[in-house]
Amino acid sequence: MTAIPADARPTDDESVRRQLDETWRQTPGLWGWLTSVDHKSIGKRYIVTAMVFFVLGGLEAGVMRAQLARPENSVLGPDAYNQFFTMHGMTMMFLFAVPVMTAVGLYLVPLMIGARNVAFPRLNAYGYWVYLAGGLFLYISFFLNTGPDTGWFSYVPLAGPEFSPGKRVDVYAQSITFTEIAALVAAVELIVTIFKNRAPGMTLNRMPLFVWAMLVQAFMVLFAMPWVATVTQLLAMDRLVATHFFNPAEGGDALLWQHLFWFFGHPEVYIILTPGLGFVSMIVATFTRRPVYGYPAMVLSLLSVGFLSFGLWVHHMFATGLPQLGQSFFTAASMMITIPSGIQIFCWIATIWAGRPRFGVPFLFVLGFVVIFVIGGVTGVMVASVAFDQQVHDSYFVVAHFHYVLIGGAVFPLLGAFYYWFPKITGRMLSERLGRWNFWLLFVGVNLTFFPMHQLGLEGMPRRVYTYLAGTGWGPLNLLATIGAVLVVVGVLLFVINVAVSLRRGALAGDDPWGADTLEWATSSPPPPYNFAHIPVVEGRAPLWEQPGELPAVSGLRTDVRDVLVTTLLDARPDSLHRHPPPTIWPLLTAIATTILFVTLIFTPWGAVIGTPLLLLTLLGWGWPHGRDHQEQRMVEQTG
Amino acid sequence: MPLTLASTLVQQAHTSLNPASPQVRLVDQLGTAMFVTAAVVCLLVFAALLWAALRRRSGAEPVADGRQERPMKTAVLLATGVTTVILFVFLIFDVSVGRSITTNPGNDALQIRVTGHQWWWEVQYRDSLPKNWATTANEIHVPVGRPVVFELRSTDVIHSFWPPNLSPKRDQIPGNENSLWFQADSAGVYRGQCAEFCGHQHAKMAFLVVAEPADQFEGWLARQRDTAQTPTDSLARRGKDVFMAASCVMCHAISGTSAGSRIGPDLTHLASRRTLAAGTLPNTRENLTGWIVDPQAIKPGVKMPPNQLSGPELLALVAYLETLK
Amino acid sequence: MCSHYRENGGAAGQRGSAAKHLSVLLIVLALSGCKREERDFHGLPAGGTITNPKVREVPFVAGGSVPADSRPGPYEENAYAVSQGKTLYNQFNCSGCHFQGGGGIGPPLMDADWIYGSRPENIYETIAEGRPNGMPSFGRKIVPDQIWQIAAYVRSMSGLLRKDVAPGRDDAMQVRPQEQSTQKAKPVQSGIPKSAELP
Amino acid sequence: MRSTRIVADVARLPRTVFGHRSLMWWGTIGFIVIEGSTLFICVASYFYLRRNFSTWPPEHVFRPGLLIPTIQAGLMLLSNIPMVSADRASRRMDIRGVRIGFLVCSALAVIMTVLRWFEFQSLNVRWDSNAYGSVAWATLTAHGTLLLLETAETMAFTVLLFKGPLEERDLAGASDNALYWYFMTGVWIPLYVVVFLSPSIM
């Protein structure tokens, strides 16, 4: 990669930039960090936090693999093991996978669509703080031996008041509420940003595929997350104030939990996958130096995946004895979703075929993604079959299946995305050499860990067991899986080392080290606080390839206040100007009030009496107008 | 190792890959067909990917001309079409298998009620006359070649009944009665395990299904209906007294005696069973003793408490329990 | 098992913050959380499984294992043990005489009156030794550990335990408010009521 | 950073826009979707649990009282009159109209919050009596949080409108507040029908 120094190109008017920098930059110091409303600053800390949770979740998995390495092992007892597997699932689902995808989206989407920030910068900050509070709450509880121990799905009655005494499941319910609030505000954030803040000329059908993916993901979050947020509140009420939602003796229903949970839980998988598909499209285009084949098909596939994912939830409940006919409907729907996923795979392969790929590390991860994801996909078709699923449901076959899907569909594209966008975020390249090692260790490790689990499941090994008897003969394959897990750990360790070393010593990246086509590569690396000195105008799907020289842009945004351009929904015609708020501490205070409310509520209903006024007060502080701008905004006449 | 059955035997006795009923055989055929197709699909996709990626490693810069569009379009459409066809065939196959394994078992079927408890299985053979009921635990005997309908219940949390050689699983949900049926093809001892996470000892909540010829089964059932034998030798008689005076009697039933509690497994014919602690230990004298003294060492979290009995008491108690054939 | 967490909790506290008082606070929190959340399977090692088959070849272990804690009221702060006590209370049919705490053949358990004292060891003694006028002795039939669990639960019925320790509702018919919502009633040593005296 | 050539100037674009042209409007719609989903889930659970009972309300449970809930529903509907007038006034930049509308709505919101307390009592069942009581209470509570939030926001807005200093875009904010008000009061009507009327009908 030839790194082009940032100053080798002619620059815009220096004074404009200086003033923009003055207006948009974060206040220095710790205070600045706490009050920042910059999507890049928040996106970075979001990504880092999510990666820390990824490592924690991975370590939990490592300890579990150690326990299962041989029959009747004694690394973890049943009580600790149950907390470990629950923490692993919750961490990966709620604290890593969804947040990290959202975080990358929050960082990249404004840059990709030529915006200066997300639509609601303070809400963005609030979302991060709530997410962080939820993660800390869960992990502090875990260290206090109050880690949830009924699985990330926490089926009642096991998770109900009678069979899970103490506060462990309340921690489960409430920490989910934190992360769902964070995910929901981020979804609103992304949708409005994508709808209303696109660069002039970036019509919907010129949006980069990653932006499409984030848009679809945000809509799925918007419609899926309220279900889990609500159902966990119902559970908390059953446990704390003795409601009877799930008590069959008083007209409640254990299956109500499963329906409500999986109506969220299945889209959740696609919420995690969809941004990954977006990453892949971007990397494929750049590394084959041609636009991804079949843009309309790709977009329609994303949309139909998003839509169909809401019709599959019952396939998690095939063993509950629902009527056969209804189940076949869900089999059909589950199989149907394979088609749009398949179309995307075929389009990428066609694109690679037509181009001349460069085998950079991001591209390696894309190849790895296709292999692992396709294996997870075909086993997904198998478990969509009612009869077959009733055999392998809740066995290690399913464990193998969804790890293939999630690691293939989310972790590999994510790591590819890291190698791809790291230069943009930090200004430095990650080491390709370490990257190759990282890739191959992970690729071999993941397959070694999870492939034997298919066989274990068919042999009858159930999920969520803390041990197994020697006589079952499951020992050797489990040992193999544990060896694979060691490789995965080493692979992830290499990645961490690569990031740590490259942050300081990596080669300078320049604006556009890969020769890519989307707008984020038009600004410097790392981008300035205001992203673009002039908002670019877009005339096609690959603006940087279509405009090799100067980019067209608009002028007229004020540089002394945080002006952003609002465009129309479909055609992205400039429509109005909007002023963004300066840095503020209120989102953090509101998040603290939220935390006080949620945490005290699981100990006493009086928590509402303490927490609600605090929350309303902080919201008032947030919403109350500060720093009136007398120059621009016409004061409304004070009519008597 | 606790399970002293030869390990290969158990492997064969607890796997969906060794079908022992028409139900599982059908599902196995479906699974095999899907597996083979899936493997072929995977290999084709990988081959296409590798070819696409590697074919021009050392070629010239690609020419972005219209000639590429046509083959790409054809290939993508073809692949999508093939995918759709495969899925459609799978769907038909799945629905037909689903219908066959859920057909009506017929009137001749044997009814067995299996109730999941944390962490053991209560097994009840019901009859129109309640005196003919037989209750046992963790070991289900079925006649070969006759449909058996299982009434699946739970009194605490959700469990899932899964003998992989004989039947796909079905959840036992409190408040929602479920059922399934299968028919064992050949005599043998099969193993099953709870498949829905149910708390601390989900891992050690197994059971055996003993499929035997009809006459043998009827003989077994008749013996299970009997009340417990009254011990004859003095040690066992003393053991019975220990049982009735100690904490055992609070949770366990032995028919024909004053012990009638249904909290733990029915022990009327304990000694006739092959395993202890829900398929965890072979039913030997040593294991039984160890289990009574400290069940928490074998299944941490299990509901049975460690028992403080003196040496002679324990000896007598075990001797008594061993008479419960 | 809990001590393992205790160490973890403490260590996390110290790493998390330089401020000493914060780590002290965390340890205090850890201890209270720990007591509440402990799953006491009788102080077994983490694995909890006898992997050495020899252990089971010894046919007699006189005396068996010792209860984890023989201090009075070992489970006053342990939600798991209290809930076990509740299960046992129901399974051993204590309701047969005391009904759902409202009293019937036996005296009510959810009010403030205590004939033989409200301290855990009083209740232990009542269950283990029995009392005149009908309460049988269960000392032989219920192991001490379980008696302590039941005693702790009985105390929760009149709100004598912390609210975060007392049980919630059962998956059963709602016959009375859940224990964790029961207001603490100041125990009164009432002595034997007239009605309970033998004629 | 790529160099740019200026092709257009946007300085003259308006800074105060209403309805779907404004960012806040879209944000409000987003939260309406989220909260609408939550209420939908409550109603879905209501009918799901309904199947477990042979009579509705269950035996030994009185039907909910209708007087106060009906007054409340009527009030919710009527409250849209001042809110619509405030919304229209804001689009005309008629600050006086907005003030009057918000003042009236603040008063109504306080009354509605107090009425909500009596609505809970009108249910004639406790939340811990049975699943019917649980889901009825949960639905009322879920909507109650919206009511509480909207009351607080409307009152805060009213104070701002009278105290100032005001900018044009605050009026756009008032219009967005009105949008949320329409949702909060509008969504109550089906909930009222489900929770209070349906036990008498079904």
**What long-range pairs does B215-224 form, CB within 8 A, spacing at least 24?**
B217/B141, B217/B142, B217/B143, B217/B144, B218/B143, B220/B141, B221/B125, B221/B134, B221/B141, B223/B269, B223/B272, B223/B325, B224/B125, B224/B134, B224/B135, B224/B136, B224/B268, B224/B269, B224/B272
Evaluate if residue B270 carries a pLDDT over 60: yes
Closest-CA residue of chain A to D126: A243
- Dihedral (Cα; B290, B293, B295, B298), 10-degree rounding: -40
A62: nearest Cα among A409, A490, A365: A490
**Res. B8: pLDDT tops 50:** no
Residue showing tokens 């692949």:
B79
Q: Alpha-carbon distance B67 to A597, whole Å?
A: 63
pLDDT at residue A68 in the model: 96
Cα gap B32→B35, rounded to integer Å = 5
User: Can you tell me the mean pLDDT for B35-46?
Assistant: 95
- When pLDDT is averaged across residues B180-187 and rounded to a whole number, the result is 92
Give the Cα separation of D27 and D14 in Å (integer): 19
* Contact call for residues A275 and A412 (beta carbons, < 8 A): no
Residue C15: band (very low, low, confident or very high) from pLDDT cuts 50, 70, 90? very low
Q: What is the mean pLDDT of residues C11-30?
A: 54
List the one residue out of D71, D153, D162, D80 whose CA is nearest residue D111: D71
> Contact C65/B294, CB-based, under 8 Å?
yes
Residue D27 binned pLDDT confidence (cut-offs 50, 70, 90): very high
Count how many residues are written for chain A: 640
Judge whether residue D111 has pLDDT over 90. Answer: yes
CA D2 to chain centre: 47
**pLDDT, averaged across chain A:** 92
| Chain B residues closer than 8 Å to A371 by CB | 46, 49
If one counts every other C-beta atom within 10 angstroms of the C-beta of residue C27, the result is 19
pLDDT > 90? residue D125: yes
- Answer yes or no: is pLDDT of A69 > 60: yes
CB contact under 8 A, A394 and B160: yes
Query: Cα distance from A439 to chain D (closest Cα, Å)?
Result: 31
- pLDDT digits 0-9 by tens, A380-389: 999 999 999 9
CA geometry: angle D171, D174, D179, nearest 5 deg: 135
- Proportion of chain C in helix, strand, coil states, percent, rounded to 5: 40, 5, 55
Question: What stretch of H or E contains B275?
Answer: strand B275-276
The more confident residue out of A636 and D15 is D15
List of chains touching C (3+ CB pairs within 8 A): A, B, D
Q: Which residue has the tokens 């020769």?
A: A515
Q: What is the DSSP letter of D184?
A: H
Residues A213-270 have pLDDT tens digits of 999 999 999 999 999 999 999 999 999 999 999 999 999 999 999 999 999 999 999 9
pTM of the model: 0.92
* Residue C64 banded pLDDT, cuts 50, 70, 90: very low
Does the beta carbon of A23 lie under 8 angstroms from any beta carbon of chain D? no
Tell me what the mean pLDDT of segment A41-64 comes to. 96
Yes or no, beta carbons of C39 and B200 under 8 Å apart: yes
CA distance D176 to C66: 68
- Least confident range of A224-228, A554-558, C101-105, C140-144: C101-105
Average pLDDT, integer, range A300-313: 93
User: Cβ of A635: how many Cβ atoms within 10 Å?
Assistant: 12
- For residue A325 the two structure tokens come to 């006919």
B13 pLDDT higher than 90 = no
pLDDT band at C174 (very low <50, low <70, confident <90, very high): confident
Handedness of CA A79, A85, A89, A92 (dihedral sign): positive
One-character DSSP codes across B224-261: HHSPPPPP-SHHHHHHHHHHHHSTHHHH-B-TTSS-B-
pLDDT band at A627 (very low <50, low <70, confident <90, very high): low
Q: Say which amino acid occupies A519.
A: L
Residue C10 has pLDDT above 50, yes or no: no
- Answer whether residue A376 shows pLDDT above 50: yes
* Cis ω for the linkage preceding A574 (within 30 of 0): no
Cβ within 8 Å, pair D129-C178 = no
Minimum distance, in Å, between the CA of residue A542 and any CA atom of chain D: 15
Distance CA D182, CA D81 (A): 10
Q: What is the DSSP letter of D28?
A: H
| Residue C133, min C-alpha distance to chain A (Å) | 33
Cα separation, A440 vs A418, whole angstroms: 16
Q: Where residue B62 falls among pLDDT bands split at 50, 70, 90?
A: low
Cross-strand bridge partners of residue C188: C113
> Which residues, including other chains, have CB under 8 Å from residue B44's CB and lie 6 or more apart?
none
For the segment B184-207, the average pLDDT, to the nearest whole number, is 94
Locate A250 and state its tokens: 């008083």
Nearest to A374 among B42, B118, B158 (CB): B42
Highest mean pLDDT among A313-327, A419-433, C21-35, C97-111: A419-433
Tell me the sheet residues that pair with B260: B253
pLDDT in tens, A516-535: 999 999 999 999 999 999 99
A626: confidence class by pLDDT, cuts 50, 70, 90: low
B239-253 pLDDT tens trace: 999 999 999 999 999
Q: From the CA atom positions of chain D, what is the Rg in Å?
A: 21
Q: Among B51, B98, B194, whose Cβ lies nearest the Cβ of A324?
A: B98
What's residue B12's pLDDT?
A: 76
Classify the C-alpha dihedral D180-D181-D186-D192 as positive or negative: positive
Residues in chain A whose Cβ is within 8 Å of chain C: 72-80, 140-141, 143-146, 157, 160-163, 165-168, 238-242, 244, 246-250, 467, 603-604
**Range 131-190 of A in CB contact (< 8 A) with D:** 184, 187-188
Of A295-299, C177-181, C188-192, the poorest mean pLDDT is in C188-192
- Measured between beta carbons, the chain D residues lying within 8 angstroms of C171 are none
| Residue A4: pLDDT over 70 | no
Q: Percent of chain C scored above 90 by pLDDT?
A: 19
Exposed, middle or buried: residue D80 (CB in 10 Å: 0-12, 13-18, 19+)?
Answer: middle
Residues of D in contact with C168 (CB under 8 A): none
Contacts of C65 (CB under 8 A, 6+ apart): B293, B294, B296, B297, B306, B308, C42
Tell me, what's the pLDDT at A465? 96
In tens, the pLDDT along A174-197 reads 999 999 999 999 999 999 999 999
What is the C-alpha separation between A218 and A119, in angstroms, rounded? Answer: 14
Show the tokens assigned to D48: 């799901």
- As a whole number, mean pLDDT of residues A272-296 equals 95
Predicted confidence band of residue D2 (pLDDT cuts 50, 70, 90):
confident
B188-193, strands of its sheet edge to edge = B139-143, B206-212, B188-193
Indicate which of D128, D130, D134 best probes the interface with C, i.e. most C CBs within 10 Å of its own CB. D128
SS3 label, residue B125:
strand
Dihedral, CA atoms, B56, B60, B61, B67, nearest 10 degrees?
-80
Structure token digits, residue A215: 């848009």
Mutate to test the interface with D, among C170, C171, C174 (most CBs of D within 10 A): C174
pLDDT tops 60 at residue C17: no
Whether B199 contacts B119, CB under 8 Å: yes
Phi, psi of C179 (to 5 degrees): -60, -35
Domains and CATH numbers, chain C: 79-189 (1.10.760.10)
Q: Which whole-number Å values give the CA distances from C195 to A563, B300, C105, C106, C126, in the listed order?
A: 83, 45, 11, 11, 19
DSSP character string of A560-613: TTTEEEEE-TTT--EEEEEEPPPP-SHHHHHHHHHHHHHHHHTT-THHHHHHHH
Query: Among residues of chain D, what percentage have pLDDT more than 70?
Result: 100
CB-based contact D2 A534, cutoff 8 Å: no
Across the interface, do A255 and B173 touch by the CB < 8 Å criterion?
Answer: yes
Tell me which residues of chain D, numbers 164 to 193, contact chain A at a CB-CB cutoff of 8 Å.
164-171
Report whether pLDDT(B64) > 80: no
Task: Give the separation between CA A535 and CA D8, rounded to whole angstroms.
Answer: 10
Q: Which of C34, C165, C171 is the closest to A162 by Cβ?
A: C171
pLDDT in tens, D49-101: 999 999 888 888 899 999 999 999 999 999 999 999 999 999 998 999 999 99
Per-residue pLDDT at B56 exceeds 80: no
Long-range contacts from A558-561, C-beta under 8 angstroms, 24+ separation: A558/A632, A558/D11, A559/A16, A559/A19, A559/A20, A559/A23, A560/A19, A560/A23, A561/A23, A561/A629, A561/A632
Mean pLDDT of D106-120: 96
Please determine, looking at this structure, whether the domain spanning B234-321 carries the CATH number 3.40.50.2300: no
Query: What pLDDT is recorded for position B154?
Result: 94
Residues of chain B with Cβ-Cβ distance to A352 below 8 Å are 49, 52-53
CATH class for the domain made up of B110-225 = mainly beta
